[in-house]
Structure 1
């Protein structure tokens, strides 16, 4: 009987040791969220891209945007630092995916009370990463500032 108890105790000890939480497995670190603004001298450019199915139906309808998990929308605004006011700007965007395929995005200006922003949309595929190259010339400036960011979209 003592041998059986010893065998059971050793088996239990082996099981407990096998469950050890040592550092043999590495947990992947979370990636930091990408930037959503860029300082361009006297102004700050705010930008965001999202799947249009995330827009509330009334908002999408008001701006003529098709809600779909296969469409992405880019939103850009330019804020003057001195008074934190939205300013008109010339905003041009060139977009491509990671294979170099160009995506056409035509930006249009939206004016709402004290806000001015620029929106445009394009089609996307599941797990497609888009690289947005944004050129901004704030009103009263003659120099273009460039902002680049990328986003991965999930359509499933």
Structure 2
């Protein structure tokens, strides 16, 4: 039960961070079958006790990327699904960081989290592949975002 509450608190923190004025707004890509939500934010937006409970490095030089994949059904009600997610992030100096995503499965909510480092005023380029169906081609997300230390 405590673990479930910890994950729920983390999920709530992620949602809140996506609507904070200083956070990057959540972004979405939609295909015929899937809706992919993603947002990146400074790890300092996560409460210290939640970060500690989930082994998340909370630092002014650390940020997180959250990805959730929803499959559209015949009733137009998206349902969360698992996916194979891989990615990398590079800065303007072409320094590359491989992203390792952790699955968070809360029954009605399925999402993936990863962390990465940045320097103040760094603009990072993300390339992420999302493959909800292993028998079909992956969906590629590409975006850039600037990060600032607190």
When Rg is computed on C-alpha atoms for both structures, the one with the higher figure is 1
Verify the 8 A CA contact 1:136 1:144 in the aligned structure 2.
yes
For residue 110 of structure 1, report the CA deviation from its aligned partner: 0.9
**Distance (whole Å) between structure 2 residues aligned to residue 56 and residue 81 of structure 1:** 33
For residue 108 of structure 1, report the CA deviation from its aligned partner: 1.3
- In the alignment, structure 2 segments of 5+ residues that lack a partner are 1-23
TM-score by length of 2: 0.76
What is the correspondence of 1:113-124 to structure 2 with a 5 Å cutoff?
113-124=107-118
The SS at the match of 1:132 is strand
Verify the 8 A CA contact 1:94 1:105 in the aligned structure 2.
yes
**Distance (whole Å) between structure 2 residues aligned to residue 113 and residue 34 of structure 1:** 25
For residue 151 of structure 1, report the CA deviation from its aligned partner: 1.1
The SS at the match of 1:65 is coil
Verify the 8 A CA contact 1:80 1:86 in the aligned structure 2.
yes
For residue 90 of structure 1, report the CA deviation from its aligned partner: 0.3
Verify the 8 A CA contact 2:25 2:39 in the aligned structure 1.
no
For residue 34 of structure 1, report the CA deviation from its aligned partner: 6.5
**Distance (whole Å) between structure 1 residues aligned to residue 96 and residue 125 of structure 2:** 10
Q: Deviation string for 1:116-135 (max 9, x for gaps)?
A: 11111111110011111110
The SS at the match of 1:104 is strand
Verify the 8 A CA contact 1:87 1:139 in the aligned structure 2.
no
* Structure 1 stretches of 4+ moved >3 Å: none
**Distance (whole Å) between structure 1 residues aligned to residue 107 and residue 25 of structure 2:** 29
- In the alignment, structure 1 segments of 5+ residues that lack a partner are 1-32
For residue 40 of structure 1, report the CA deviation from its aligned partner: 2.6
Q: Deviation string for 1:3-43 (max 9, x for gaps)?
A: xxxxxxxxxxxxxxxxxxxxxxxxxxxxxx76601013200
Aligned residues: 124
